[in-house]
Every structure is written in C-alpha cells, then in structure tokens.
Amino acid sequence: MFTLEIDGTAVAVINGDEATARDLFTCDGFKEDIQAMTSEGRPLWNGTSELKIRAASADEIEVFEEALAEDDGEGDFEDDPRHAAANDATATEGGDDEDEADIVFLLDIDEADALDS
C-alpha cells in the first residue's frame, strides 16, 4: 500500500502497487479533485506542492483497512465519485475487477466537497 503525502501531511492511501499509486495520485482528474476538495476549510492541495508517494505506514494501513471494513456491504464507498474514478482509471489501464485499487482519504473531507462531486 502507498500513501499520498502533501506538505508533510498524509492525505490518502491506496491498496495498489507503486506504479498504480503514481498513476492514480498524479492523474489530472485526481489532481483536480484534491485541489477542489477541502479539509477543515483548507484545500487538500494548492496545485503546486509536491505530490509525494511513499510506502504506507502501519497506522495508515490500519486506517485504510478499518475504512474498507466499515464500508463493506453499505455501498456508500462505491458511490463516492472519487472512488469510482480511481477504479475507472485502473480498469481503463487493463486491470480487471480484482486488480482495482481502493483509495481511502486519511483526512476528514468537508461535507460540501463530498456532495458537490
């Protein structure tokens, strides 16, 4: 698993390999999303800071696994447009359903942002 870090803050975790993480975290659509999304009223990304992709820590992996376990069977996570976009990007790159990557945000995303997408 890999983590997207921006300005020293862990923002999201993906359960793909490093190439998948780099592809999804640096694609134009994802960049647009994280530039428009806010946490505590602040944008997740200012559009210029480095998007650092690194191996996820044990704590980040635990948060990721707990988030997926909570969403398992509820359908809410699958309906999130950002999540669907990540899976669509993986699918168009030749992945099948088993190879799709899940992304979990480690920050609380402001509710208005989640509804606007």
Type of residue numbered 37: M
CB 93 within 8 A of CB 16: no
Token pair, residue 70, equals 């909570």
In tens digits, the chain (117 residues) has pLDDT values of 999 999 999 999 999 999 999 999 999 999 999 999 999 999 999 999 999 999 999 999 999 999 988 877 554 444 444 444 444 444 444 444 445 789 999 999 998 655 554
- CB neighbour class for 73 (10 Å; exposed up to 12, middle 13-18, buried from 19): exposed
Residue with tokens 């669509």: 88
CB neighbour list of residue 57: distance below 8 Å, 6 or more residues apart = 3, 10
CB 70 within 8 A of CB 64: no
Q: Tell me, what's the pLDDT at 112?
A: 67
Q: Tell me, what's the pLDDT at 99?
A: 56
Helix and strand counts by DSSP (H, E) for the chain: 6, 6
CB 101 within 8 A of CB 86: yes
Chain centre distance of CA 17: 14
d(CA 88, CA 38): 23
